[in-house]
Amino acid sequence: LKVSGTGGGLIRSVTATLTIREKDFKISSSLETVTVEQGDNTSIQINVEKIGDFNAPVSLTISSVTSDVEAKFTVASGVPSFSSTLNLNIPLSTPEGAYTLTIEGASGERIHSVRVTLNVKKKPFTLTITPEVEGAKVKVSGILTPPIQPAKITLQYHSHTEEGEEGETIIHEVNVKSDGGFSDEFYPKTLGEWCVKAIFKDNKGNIVAASDIEHFTIEKTFINELTLLARNKPLLLILPLIAVVAIAIVGIKIVRKKGIKPTPSKTQIYCQKCGAPLSVEDEFCPYCGTRQNK
């Protein structure tokens, strides 16, 4: 910058430097690429730095992210310089693939952004179950690896006819514990051959993992039949008992109404000397001839 002055035919000038300071901000990410498995969480640090004397608030947003992914900033707005953690929750239903996340910072008409690549990998779940028969019931224990919560396991019980054909299907749902374990107790409606299979689904109903089909047999014994009858049709056991009680009550009422008294039992008498059994009419013992005192 040059400043000149004239006077009296003279010209004088001076050169000065003019510095214009920029007022702006910039945004950056701690990671350019992040890899995460389905059902897991991850986080990225976002840094917003001021340039010059910039002191206006900057708001953070994220775009270009699949609707399955849940994204939230710990600090959604602030005056630079500041940092915010972007927390990402990746549901099990998120398809595998690479996603470009665009994180934007906006302050008035000023908008700056940074891009991060999110790689979603399939989680390798395994599901195993073991049925254990105890009389007329079966206990099924299993484990989901790796463990995840919250999660539910669907147990499908199938019966088989004597001809080997499939019969009815019964569905149970159980919760997965923190260690991945789960258990269930099942009383079949019929005795004989059964099988069970465990299925783990994501929040959209897609099958993520399934166990092998395990077979078990509920033996056809009297005790097992009685147990299942008591559980499935308790009235069939209660009604006969009610009938017996009712008959007894009716019998008592009839006896009371007719005034029937029970016949007293006769007391057996014996010879006072030899102890031989006597009748009431005997005055002398027929065995030893002793007179009896009555």
DSSP track, 99-122:
EEEEEEEEETTEEEEEEEEEEEE-
Type and span of the H or E element at 293: none
179-203, pLDDT tens digit by residue? Answer: 999 999 998 888 888 999 999 998 8
What CATH topology corresponds to 25-121? Immunoglobulin-like (2.60.40)
Q: What is the pLDDT of residues 33-89, one digit of tens each?
A: 999 998 899 999 999 999 988 999 999 999 867 777 889 999 999 999 999 999 999
The pLDDT of residue 294 is: 64
Average pLDDT over residues 91-109: 91
Burial of 241 (0-12, 13-18, 19+ CB in 10 A): exposed
Average pLDDT, the chain: 83
pLDDT band at 156 (very low <50, low <70, confident <90, very high): very high
Q: Binning pLDDT at 50, 70 and 90, where does residue 293 land? A: confident
Distances (CA, A) of 255 to 248, 259, 261: 11, 6, 8
DSSP 4-48: EEEETTEEEEEE--------EEEEEES-SEEEEETT-EEEEEEEE
Overall average pLDDT of the 262-290 stretch: 72
pLDDT reading at 263 higher than 60: no
Q: How far apart are CA 229 and CA 56, in angstroms?
A: 77
254-260: average pLDDT: 61
Task: Give tens-digit pLDDT for 111-121.
Answer: 999 999 999 99
pLDDT reading at 265 higher than 60? no
Q: Residue 49's closest CA among 109, 100, 105, 88?
A: 105
Question: Strand pairing partners for 127?
Answer: 144
Give CA–CA dist 2/246, Å, rounded: 124
| Domain range list for the chain | 25-121, 126-220
Asked if pLDDT for residue 233 goes beyond 70, the answer is no
Structure tokens at 150: 């919250």
Q: Which option is the CATH number for 126-220: 3.30.1280.10, 2.60.40.10, 1.20.1440.230, 3.40.50.720?
A: 2.60.40.10
